[in-house]
Structure 1
């Protein structure tokens, strides 16, 4: 496997294995490169590539990028986008998964002195953070999400960034983070210095405020809003992985029954198994019946007018559960 330097630390990362967890449009896989339509925008031509091996392993470029920030970059940045995480969260995932590159005999190894982690205070953002974003944009309405649902979830719009704004809140309703999602293309980012989303569950404040015992569990915020648009409450973990903190938040909540509605792809299947393994002893679980459906997620089903796909559920299959932790 190629060696990547992540935060000054070298790790052997299986780049291809990580990328194969996600759907690609018109992909061409070679031993040293993936060429495909860009994941950052709506693209029907293979104008994006990732180096899978060699000196530039993990680097990528998009020849038709809308935004200079997404013309090229390293592997952590790409995977953070695909996993719907911050850069720091993805770097932490890669280092914990692949570890530190092996050292040579004779290297002077001095282990750092063990220190207990300091108790950190959660970051609480002022409600005035959202004041500049009290604008509307048709982007989500065009994706089947009603104005009523958008208002319920506090969606706004940032004209300067040309991005919708999606607040993330703690269980008590206090503002913890804000996601910015470009209305052109698929680029997104989170507010700098805010609470990491791996410490949060999107929509958990609604669970407490309205005493919700039955919810769908999705990956992304737009999927949560899609489920609400279909008439059911939902929460999201913010990407294709779940943290111990998020598991704890769900376990402690009023949720008694949950329908797993992760994406209809390899990454979605993986996080579904994580959810089943983590929650099977705490809540009653069901899952969406994707069957042979070709839709990627619940928002795609909503846009296609196939709300019945969101409503069709079945008991989870516990036979293949295993621990990722």
Structure 2
């Protein structure tokens, strides 16, 4: 199915050969093939670019700057029209012309209709109610048969199809049966035209003609399927158009027709024209000026797939990544000073938190959740391994920076969290889709933009079901990207080396399918140094018994972080590395070397309200 666009691109790739074939007396100067004029005599007035971004572009300076692409050059040199030129080019390139299976039943050629040029009721209707010019009526060969309009469809001056439409009731319109369904108006289209307009009604076509846009009309109106069966008959004739403007009606039937036409004629050639009114004739009768219609054509939208976007449309987004607007967040950070400016959890991303069981993944995520709420996030937590009251108890300690808060202080903290925190109230297993259904509701109704799932093993997928794990991660990633939210998923790591005591998990340490880590935007490994914890405990006991050397060793041991947070992957960031953390057993808060030893109080007390011991 070689249309003019493919032919043009193929010629550009062989621009030097084309130029030498058409203008053999030329000479090569740098990137340009030079001759005297379109007649091909020696000289330098006509130049053809044969390589680079402008390959195939030519200009004849001796002829006032005439020029174009290689197809135009072929037409000019051979002095033939576009359809004949395309036939020759296809043959030269060795490209087969599209062949179509013949219909079993041959089309009937309609008899010439018994009609005259409009001169009475039909003329009054077309020039009066419809505001068409006599020039447009004549150009489209519209006829009159009593009070019925006759629309003849001709191809190469041969009558192929006829439609009859009474001016008193358009619902009684009819067509000649068993005729080839072709577009109405071919006689007004220049044979060298590279652009064409297709509209939905036989009266819309001459209306666009009056606006300066010679147009073709589909024979059966809007809609899909059989309504657009004319494409089979017209496909080959339409191959010569580089741009096809679709000015169909602005209604559901028109949009359905556009969808069908684009799919079959090629979205790379089609442009959707949105007119100020439902159709072209409505614009004409409403007195819409030509300049406004021309603007509609100039602004006609390409039918690019929604996934295909020009880079320039992201300019402002890229600028904001370099220079964020003051007070405007593009993601959320962790509460630890050492990584706060190095790691950002952005919208439309998916993060994996991994580590051995009991090493604090959920606890750090809980602390981070409190920080995100403080930063303005709306968080939804699905802690499938712990009932809401239990993980909320932990978050209350972290938010209040206190071991045992008083009842009034608990109510105050819970009131603060109630403004930004929602819970998925289920302990046990659930499927990915039921979970996302609840997340979708939380996103739509409450604006939640951070979602936590703890953990992967509770999503109803077997530990050896790698395909199921892969599909679950794909589903979660796609949803996060589509909705512009961030999902945090806890996934256990493989067992640590008991001989060495283990180390902070890396990407390859995630338990399960390799696609879990491959599809994550960020991977955070949590490792708890139990050997250091045991050493601190033993030294503390010795120091309590008055061992001076143990006290010195204890100070040194306590200066070493017992928890390592490994940023093993940050796809959209500039930094990966490890961060040491200290854990406060009373408040469940963590801190890095750059944070206060006294923690952070996210919620202040009411006057007169004190913490419990």
What is residue 289 of structure 1 aligned with on the other side? 274
What is residue 168 of structure 1 aligned with on the other side? 153
SS in 1 for 2:258: helix
Deviations 1:214-244 (A, max 9, x none): 1111111111111101011111112113535
Q: Distance in 2 between matches of 1:211 and 1:117?
A: 28
Do the aligned partners of 1:262 and 1:272 also contact (CA within 8 Å) in 2? Answer: yes
Deviation at 1:303, TM superposition (A): 1.2
Deviation at 1:154, TM superposition (A): 0.8
Matched, 1:318 2:304: yes
What is residue 299 of structure 1 aligned with on the other side? 281
Q: Distance in 2 between matches of 1:286 and 1:117?
A: 30
Aligned residue among 98, 105, 109 for 1:120: 105
SS in 1 for 2:125: coil
SS in 1 for 2:305: helix
Q: Distance in 2 between matches of 1:141 and 1:164?
A: 13
Deviation at 1:126, TM superposition (A): 3.5
SS in 2 for 1:252: helix
Structure 2: give runs of 5+ residues left out of the alignment. Answer: 1-100, 308-613
Q: Distance in 1 between matches of 2:103 and 2:127?
A: 44
Residue correspondences, number: 194
RMSD of aligned Cα (Å): 2.7
SS in 1 for 2:248: coil
Deviation at 1:185, TM superposition (A): 3.6
> Do the aligned partners of residues 212 and 117 (structure 1) sit closer, same or farther apart at CA in structure 2, a change above 3 Å counting?
closer
Q: Distance in 2 between matches of 1:210 and 1:173?
A: 13
What is residue 9 of structure 2 aligned with on the other side? none
Structure 1: give runs of 5+ residues left out of the alignment. Answer: 1-115
Return 209-218 or 262-271, whichever deviates more.
209-218
What is residue 184 of structure 1 aligned with on the other side? 168
Deviations 1:179-213 (A, max 9, x none): 222222433423443515xx211123443x64332
Q: Distance in 1 between matches of 2:131 and 2:235?
A: 27
Return 173-182 or 296-305, whichever deviates more.
173-182
What is residue 204 of structure 1 aligned with on the other side? 186
Q: Distance in 1 between matches of 2:291 and 2:258?
A: 20
What is residue 260 of structure 2 aligned with on the other side? 274
Do the aligned partners of 1:301 and 1:309 also contact (CA within 8 Å) in 2? Answer: no
Aligned residue among 130, 136, 156 for 1:149: 136
Do the aligned partners of 2:197 and 2:247 also contact (CA within 8 Å) in 1? Answer: yes
Q: Distance in 1 between matches of 2:212 and 2:198?
A: 14
1:219-234 aligned at under 5 Å gives the runs 219-234=200-215
SS in 1 for 2:168: coil
Deviation at 1:118, TM superposition (A): 6.5
What is residue 252 of structure 1 aligned with on the other side? 237
Q: Distance in 2 between matches of 1:244 and 1:119?
A: 15
Which stretches of structure 1, 4 residues or more, deviate above 4 A after TM superposition?
A: none
Deviation at 1:273, TM superposition (A): 1.5
Deviations 1:248-303 (A, max 9, x none): 5144333221111010111111111122222225x62222134xx4x211110111
**Max Rg structure:** 2
Q: Distance in 1 between matches of 2:102 and 2:287?
A: 49
| Structure with greater helix percent | 2
Q: Distance in 1 between matches of 2:192 and 2:172?
A: 31
Q: Distance in 2 between matches of 1:284 and 1:117?
A: 26
TM-score of the aligned structures, taking structure 2 as reference length: 0.29
Return 224-233 or 171-180, whichever deviates more.
171-180
> Do the aligned partners of residues 309 and 298 (structure 1) sit closer, same or farther apart at CA in structure 2, a change above 3 Å counting?
farther
Higher RCO, 1 vs 2 (CA within 8 Å, ≥6 residues apart): 1
> Do the aligned partners of residues 252 and 154 (structure 1) sit closer, same or farther apart at CA in structure 2, a change above 3 Å counting?
closer
> Do the aligned partners of residues 203 and 117 (structure 1) sit closer, same or farther apart at CA in structure 2, a change above 3 Å counting?
closer
What is residue 215 of structure 1 aligned with on the other side? 196
Do the aligned partners of 2:244 and 2:271 also contact (CA within 8 Å) in 1? Answer: yes
Deviation at 1:178, TM superposition (A): 2.0
1:6-85 aligned at under 5 Å gives the runs none
What is residue 30 of structure 1 aligned with on the other side? none
